[in-house]
Amino acid sequence: MYNKKELSKNFWNNVDKLRGKISLKELCNETSIKYKRIQDQRMLGGIPNLTDGIAIAKFLNTDVNYLLYNEKNEYLPLFYKLKENKELYDICEDLTMLNPTQINVVKNLIDSYLINGDISMEKKA
């Protein structure tokens, strides 16, 4: 079990690691979080409220679980990409309704397209 001091240390260390050369002021501007609030939280060993934590995590293309507990969600960057492209998101939503055989057919179509440049399922001679 983590205590508040450990969570704060994890959170800010992970934010620093992921933000790279982006300044805290820039992070605050991009997330609409007050810079003074972030400074105070860091200095006092606090962690942001849920809304701010989510905004920071989203800006850094991660999730709050990673910032607090170092638990990576390998699918989150893909989810953010899907969310930005409604057509692709809708396709993925439709895929969730397919049975395994249908999913395999779709996968074969995609593989064929990537390999051959067309969607023909016929093998080329």
CB 64 within 8 A of CB 57: yes
Question: Class of 4-74 per CATH?
Answer: mainly alpha
What pTM value is reported for the model? 0.62
Residues 3-45: tens digit of each pLDDT: 888 999 999 999 999 999 999 999 999 999 999 999 999 999 9
Pick the more confident residue, 119 or 14: 14
98's tokens: 């397919």
Residues 47-57: tens digit of each pLDDT: 999 999 999 99
Give one word for 32, left, alpha or beta, with left for phi > 0 and alpha for psi -120 to 50: left
23's tokens: 């300044």
| pLDDT reported for residue 81 | 79
Backbone φ and ψ of 3, nearest 5°: -95, 170
Q: At 122, is the pLDDT very low, low, confident or very high (cuts 50, 70, 90)?
A: low
